[in-house]
Structure 1
Amino acid sequence: GFGVVMQKILTGLFRQYPGKYEVFQVGINYNGDAFDEFAVTGGPSNGRYRQWPAMQFGSTSHHMYGQQKFLQVLRSLQVDIDVVFLFEDPFWVGGPVLGTNPPQAFITEIRKILHQRGMAHVPIVTYFPIDGKPKKRWIDLIATADFPITYLNFGAEACKAITPSIAPKLQVIPHGIDIKEFYPITKAEQRTFRRVMFGDEFVDKFMFLNVNRNQLRKLIPSTLTAFKQFQVLTNNAGFIYLNMKPVDVGWDLFETCKALELVVGRDVLFPPNFNEKKGITLDELNKIFNCADLYVSTAVGGGWELSVTQAFATKLPVLLPANTSHVELCGPQNPEERRGVLFKSGDILSHTMIFPGDNEVVRPLPNLEDMVDSMVFLYKNKDAREKMAENAYKWVISELQWEKAVVPLFDRVLSEAKEVKVTKQDMHRAAAEAQQGELKRYVAK
C-alpha cells in the first residue's frame, strides 16, 4: 500500500510539474531488488530521482523500517535539502530509532542531523495513517513536524483527541484512484474473464472477493467463517476468491479452510503462485474486481484500505465492518446515499481484542452474525448493490482522482514547505546579521 501511494504521488509530481522536483528516496522494506525507475518517477526527463534500499544498512539487511538508513542518507547527502518528507506508520514516524540504546526519537534525530548540517530551517512533512487509537507519545512527536498530514477526518479527530496541540497544523489529504487502472468493464467481458480465470462451474455463482494481505489486522479467518455460514443459509450459492498468499504472516488459510469444512477449489479460490510483494498485474486485478459480485472485509482497522476505493472505481459493491476508515469511506448509511454497507464491529465488549505484537491497540472485532445477515441481504437484493456501487463510483470519479484532485494537494503542501524554509532562512540570516551588528557596535564602544 505505501509503495503504491508513494509511486502515485511521485509520478504525479514529476508529470504534472516537470523540472520542479528533485527526489532522494529511502525505500522502506526495500532490499535492493531491481525496479523500473521510469515507471516510478514518470521519467528522468521530468525530474531527478535516486532511491536507496532501506533494508541495507552496514553489514546487515534486516532493518525493514529503514530508520538507520534514512539517517545515514540524511547525514551524507550532499545537496541543499528543501523538505524532509516522511511517509510511514505513526509508530515509525513518532517512535524511537530501532537499535538505539537508550532509545532516540526518530524525528528528534532528524532535527539533530539537520541542525548539525546547518539546515535547522528545513521543514518536515509527515503523511501517516491512523488505523485505531494511536499512542499519545507517537502523536506528540508527530506534532513537532511542520506539516503533519493524515488520510481521513477519522484519523485527524483521533490525533486531536489525544494531542490537541496538533490541531492548528494537522491537514487531511486522501489517497487517490487511477481511473486508467481501475474502471468498469462490460458484462460480457466480466463473464469471459470469470470463465477463463476460474472455470465454467463458477460463471453463474455469486462471487465474494477479499483483496488484502493475509495478516493479523485483516482477520481473514473471520471472513471465511462468515462465508461458511452464508453457504449454509443459501445452499452453497457462492464462492469466495481471496487475492492473497494462503500461507503468509497471518494464517495458514489452507488449514483454516479444512477446519471450517470449506473446500479449496470449490468454495474458496486463491491465486496460483502468489507473491505478496509483486501481487498480480493491474489489468488482472481490475478484471477480478469487475467480475466479483460483492467485496467483503473483516479488517479490525484501516488507515484507508486501497482495495476499497479500487472496488468503488470498478462499481463493485462493498460490505465492510463499521470501524476506523471504513465508516468514512462508506458514507451515510441510508440507502440513497451510502457508498458501501457497514456491519457491526466492536459493538459489544466481547467484540474487542488487544492482539500481541500490535502496539496494544484495542481492536474492534467483526460481528459475524450481522455480517452474514448483510451478505444474505445483498445476495438477494441486486438493486441495493447497484445503487451503492453507483454512488461510490461517482464519488471516486469526482473527488479522488490522483492527478486531478490529490497530487495538486501535495504540490501545494510541498510548495508551502519550501516557502517556510526560505522564510526561516531569511529570519535566521537577519538575526545573525543583527547579532553581528550589535557585536561590532559593542566592540567599537
Structure 2
Amino acid sequence: MTAVPRAAIPDEVLRRQDVQDALKRRDFGRLFFLARRWAGISYSAIAESCDIKPERVGTLARGTGSITSYQKIEQIADGMRVPGHLLGLQPRHWELADRNALHSRAEPAVGDVQGIRGAVHGASNYDLGHRLARGSAEFLRDLDRSGPGEMTIEQMAADLRGIAFRYLREPTPPLLVGLGQIRDEAREHLTRPGVVRRRDLLVLAGWSMALMGWMSVDMGRPDLAGTHARAAWMCGEAADHDGLRAWTCKTWQMVEYWAQRRPQAAAHTERGAIYADRAGGGAALIMLSALALDYARLGREDDALTTLNRARDAAERLTPTGDTDLGGPMSCTPERAVGYWADTYLVLGHSKEALALADEAVAASESAPGAVRNMGTERMMRCHQAIAHLQQRDLDAAQHALARVLVTPPELRAAPLRLRMHDITALLPDDTAGRSFADTLTGFATAPGE
C-alpha cells in the first residue's frame, strides 16, 4: 500500500455524519476543524500534507474563507486521504494502489472470527491510535514553541527510539520520513536565538541522521548514507557525544565496506572503537566485534582473534545506556555481537566454530521477547548458518537454515541481506539441486523494480 500522509483521516472519522456533511459542502475549514477534533490531526500536519500555509489552515478552520481551486481540492483529497467520490472527484491514484494491495492479501478462512475482526478493525484502530498519539505529541510541541522544554525533548527522543525499534519490522520509507521530521524539528529549534537544551537537540538531530545513514545503506544507497553520516558526525562533535561518534563511525564503516574499500572501512571501525571505549555499552561491543571482522577480511588473523577476545570481554560487562544505544540497529546485544563473531570465523575459514556460534545466536534470538528480537540480525545469522553448512558441503542443512529468511517480505529485504544471498549462491554446488536453489536465491535477492 502507498505511504500514508500525516494528515490522513481514519476511516471511522470519515464515516461520521458531520464529516460527511462538510465534505458534501466542500467546507474544508470545517473538515480541518473536525479532523483535529475527532482524529487528533494537527493543523501543522494538515498544512504539510496538503501544501497549504499553516496560518491559512487555522483561518479556514475558524470559519473564514473557502477553497474553490480544483487543484487545491485534489491536494486536500490526497493529503488527507479523502476518497475521490466524497468530493466529486475521480478515484485517486492511491485508492487504486491501496485497493490492489488489499485484493492481493489472503482472506481470513471461513469461520475465522478473530481473523475477520482483525481484517475489518485491527488496522484502522491501530492507525487511529497512532494518529491520536501523534496529535498529542504535536499539541505538546505547539504549547512548547518558546522552548523546547523537557517534555518536548522527551517526546522527540521517544519518537526517535520508536522509529529505531520499528526498523525492519515495518517498511522503511515512512520511517525515514519520521526521522526527517525529527531532524528538521531539532534544526528549527537550534536556529532560534538563545536556544535552550542545545546539546540535547544536537544529539537528537545527530542520532536521526546517523540512523538515516544506516537505513540508506540497507536500501542500497551508500552514497546518500555518507551525506547523513557527515552531518551526524558534526552533531556528535558539537555535542561532544562519544556514543553518537562511535555509531556514526559504524555507519561510515558500512558505507566503505559495501563500496569494496575494506582498508577504509577498517580505519573507520578503529576510530569508532576509540570513542566506543569511552562510551561503553553496546557501542563498545559492536565496534570491537565489527573490528574483528574487518581485520579478518584484511587477512590479519592474529589481530582478528585478539580483537574477538576483547569483544567477548566487552559482552560480559555490557551495560547499555541511552548514551550508547539508541535502539534497533543502533544497539548491540550479546546475540547480535555473536553474529559478527560467527562471520569472523567464516572469513577465517573456521566453519565449525562459526556454525556453533550462529546456532547459539539464532536459538537465543528465537527465544527473545518480541520487543527486543532483532529480525534483521536474526536473518543475517541464519545466512551465517547456511554459509557454514555449505563450507562443510551440506546443502540440505543450508536450505533448512535459509527457509525462514526466504519468506521475508520484499520491503524488508535490506540491501546487505540481498547481497549476502549472492555470497551464498557462489558457494552452491554446480549440480541440479544447487542450480535450482541458486535460482531461488537470485529471485529473492532481486531488488523490487529490477
Q: What is the TM-score of this pair, normalised by structure 1?
A: 0.24
| Larger RCO (CA within 8 A; separation ≥ 6) | 1
The structure richer in strand per residue is 1
Q: What is the TM-score of this pair, normalised by structure 2?
A: 0.23
